[in-house]
Amino acid sequence: MQKIVPHLWFDKEAKEATAFYASLFPDSKVTSVTTLKDTPSGDADMVTFTLAGQNFMAISAGPYFKFNPSISLFVTCESEAEIEALWSKLVEGGTVRMAYDTYPFARKYGWLQDKYGLSWQLSWTEFSPTVQKITPLLMFTNSVAGKAKEAIDMYASIFPDAKIEMVVPYTKDDGEKVGFLKHARFTLAEQNFMAMDSSLPHDFTFNEAISFIVNCKTQEEIDFFWEKLSAVPEAEQCGWLKDKYGVSWQIVPTIMQEMMGSGDKEKTARVTKAFLKMKKFNIAELQKAAQG
């Protein structure tokens, strides 16, 4: 099971958007749709899907959080034809942040926000073998600008199978603050991530629109990640937390998938009612609710 799963928050478009994304990549599909009844957002569609063999989740849960460029999905393309096809489909109805063009760091590259607001960075270079097709890229801005390396070190100290693979700081010729991270690559629990700092003025920073689910087998594991990551008590709700850099995580028991995906509507309703009252998930209480 994939330990860390990116989670996307939509207003009402989760089913539509995930079907669109799955149409763009090989080895992709929507795997399940579960409707949660009577949540604080009303009825909420919860979608599991895969893109290029990687697991993702999404939810339609109201207009509370909006995507912004603080977290992008970075796509490593294998040919010019591939990047051009992806760009043309994703940019339709969206906005361009960096033009699709040739850059010193890539044969072809472009940065956009699609019609749903989700940020994508597409890159094609002959020198980057595709290990993980789609990689979350975290950009540290505003009050957390300059803290990317500190955050990477913290995450690497918490998650298993962690490795910091590349750290490239800005120089005086880059137009950014010298010493801030220009680019970094790291691995947490066998999942690839990227990060960078930006000292330039931005009107965005991390929020709950993109979070990272951490799948946990035991209550002890849930307790461990909760203690290590949670730094904003007022953000703790339904298994969600924020770390000290503002990045949102969901610490979730793996048994939850069986509970919520069984097709038993009464069981799903009982479990939903139980977890809506929780901050940190309690596996024993969730099992009681599932059993009725």
Shared-domain flag, residues 159 and 232:
no
Shared-domain flag, residues 261 and 178:
no
Q: Is 158 part of a structural domain of the chain?
A: yes
| 202 pLDDT more than 80 | yes
Alpha-carbon separation of residue 2 from 106, 152, 169 (angstroms)? 29, 20, 30
Shared-domain flag, residues 192 and 101:
yes
pLDDT band at 47 (very low <50, low <70, confident <90, very high): very high
pLDDT of residue 101: 98
Shared-domain flag, residues 86 and 193:
yes
pLDDT of residue 264: 77
Shared-domain flag, residues 264 and 283:
yes
| 102 pLDDT more than 90 | yes
Shared-domain flag, residues 279 and 193:
no
CATH of the domain at 84: 3.30.720.110
Portion of the chain with pLDDT greater than 90, in percent = 84
Q: Is 287 part of a structural domain of the chain?
A: yes
Shared-domain flag, residues 191 and 214:
no
Portion of the chain with pLDDT greater than 70, in percent = 98
pLDDT band at 260 (very low <50, low <70, confident <90, very high): confident
Q: Is 202 part of a structural domain of the chain?
A: no
pLDDT band at 129 (very low <50, low <70, confident <90, very high): low
* Least confident range of 69-73, 108-112, 122-126, 263-267: 263-267
**What proportions of the chain, in percent to the nearest 5, are helix, strand and coil?**
25, 40, 35
Q: Is 127 part of a structural domain of the chain?
A: yes
pLDDT of residue 130: 61
pLDDT average, residue stretch 13-40: 94
Shared-domain flag, residues 188 and 94:
yes
pLDDT band at 267 (very low <50, low <70, confident <90, very high): confident
Shared-domain flag, residues 81 and 159:
yes
| 1 pLDDT more than 80 | yes
Q: Is 179 part of a structural domain of the chain?
A: yes
| 176 pLDDT more than 80 | yes
113-118 long-range contacts, CB within 8 A, separation 24+: 113/67, 113/69, 114/90, 116/10, 116/13, 116/17, 116/67, 117/66, 117/67, 117/68, 117/209, 118/8, 118/17, 118/67, 118/73
- Look at residues 197, 227, 253 and tell me which one is the last residue of a structural domain: 197
Q: How far separated are the first and last CA of the chain, in Å rounded?
A: 27
- Look at residues 135, 163, 197 and tell me which one is the last residue of a structural domain: 197
pLDDT of residue 40: 80
Shared-domain flag, residues 169 and 95:
yes
> Could you list the residue range(s) of the whole structural domain that residue 100 is in?
71-197
What does pTM read for this prediction?
0.96
- Look at residues 162, 197, 232 and tell me which one is the last residue of a structural domain: 197
pLDDT average, residue stretch 46-55: 97
| 153 pLDDT more than 80 | yes
Helices 283-291 + 219-229 axis angle, to 10: 130
Higher-confidence residue of 257 and 218: namely 218
| 181 pLDDT more than 90 | yes
Number of domains in the chain: 2
Shared-domain flag, residues 240 and 163:
no
Query: Which amino acid does the sequence have at 224?
Result: F
CATH of the domain at 245: 3.10.180.10
Shared-domain flag, residues 112 and 179:
yes
pLDDT band at 39 (very low <50, low <70, confident <90, very high): confident
Give the DSSP letter of residue 14: H
Q: Is 220 part of a structural domain of the chain?
A: yes
Q: Is 164 part of a structural domain of the chain?
A: yes
Q: Is 242 part of a structural domain of the chain?
A: yes
Please give the Cα distance from 129 to 105 (Å, whole number): 14
